[in-house]
Amino acid sequence: MFRISRVTDYGIVVMAHLAERGDGDSHNARELAEDTQLPAPVVSKILKSLTRAGLLVSQRGSKGGYSLARSPREIPVVEMITALEGPVGITECTTHPGTCAQEANCQVRDPWQRINGAVHAALAKITLADLAKPFEASGPFVSLVGMEGDALGRAASDERRSE
């Protein structure tokens, strides 16, 4: 359905929550699950993935927990998505070259790579800081992604028409 998975969505919520705290303190999985109202085992799993990807740093043992590895402004959305559901790629041949039998005589591969690049670039420009402080950042944010005024309106009407 061209959607991000639920774990990714959860992951963003947790990261945003961590970013809003602002403190460099580490928070344990149970606490984060409670704060975000998400199922604890899932949150724990997500935190591990984000740590492995280098977006969080973990501290083991008593008084352990997780904290942001960098400042929110330096964590692009695309990295969070990549960490939680693998490489961002619109088509199969983008992420796994060689697995498509039609690749040799495919007429649309090259443009798809560019479309993918455009989506990728858009997601790379948005950072965790933009998500965590929506009202503060929304002004510059909109212009950042190169979206003209009526883009959202048109998008919404497109979706409505298709249902």
Residues that bind DNA (CB under 7 A): 1, 5-7, 10, 28-30, 39-42, 44-45, 47-48, 51-52, 58-66, 85
The least CB distance from residue 126 to DNA, in Å, is 21
In angstroms, the CA 144 to CA 163 distance is 31
CB-CB contact of 124 with 77 (8 Å): yes
The least CB distance from residue 29 to a second copy, in Å, is 18
Tally of CA atoms within 13 A in the half-sphere of 64 that contains its CB: 9
CB-CB contact of 127 with 16 (8 Å): no
Residue 61, contacted partner among DNA, a second copy, none, CB below 5-8 A by kind = DNA
Residue 73, contacted partner among DNA, a second copy, none, CB below 5-8 A by kind = none
CB-CB contact of 12 with 56 (8 Å): no
Residue 16, contacted partner among DNA, a second copy, none, CB below 5-8 A by kind = a second copy
